[in-house]
Amino acid sequence: MSIRIYHNPRCSKSRQTLQLLQERGIEPEIIKYLETPPSEDELRRILDMLGLRPRDLMRKREPEYKASGADDPSLSDDELIALMVKYPKLIERPIVVHDGKAALGRPPEQILEIL
């Protein structure tokens, strides 16, 4: 049973989600995505599992959102994914992936649906 969490230790929701997993005896593979961003292909798979479009997984209040040009409504999904890989702060967190499914830990309890 392999469980992966795309984690930012500075984010309270990410810490709460990790704690929720650990309280259930689950030690997930922790990916500090700001240090090791997902590849474009990996991000596409995550988006498919979440059933989201790229813009739906973006942190629109991050300064990088406007600075990177991600706020341009004419950008394609491919262009948005490329920006998310280049500027991983744009990726909403935490994301938990398990057994071909993914969930966003907002709120943290939402991840229980895929366990």
Spatial contact of 94 and 13, defined as CB atoms under 8 Å apart: yes
Q: Which of 11, 30, 114, 115 is catalytic?
A: 11
* DSSP string across 18-65: HHHHHHTT--PEEEETTTSPPPHHHHHHHHHHHT--GGGGB-TTSHHH
10 is catalytic: no
> What is the CA angle 15-92-113, rounded to 5?
65
Residues linked to residue 13 through DSSP beta bridges, in sequence order:
none
Residues 6+ apart with CB under 8 A from 108: 13, 16, 17, 19, 20, 94
| Residues carrying an active site annotation | 11
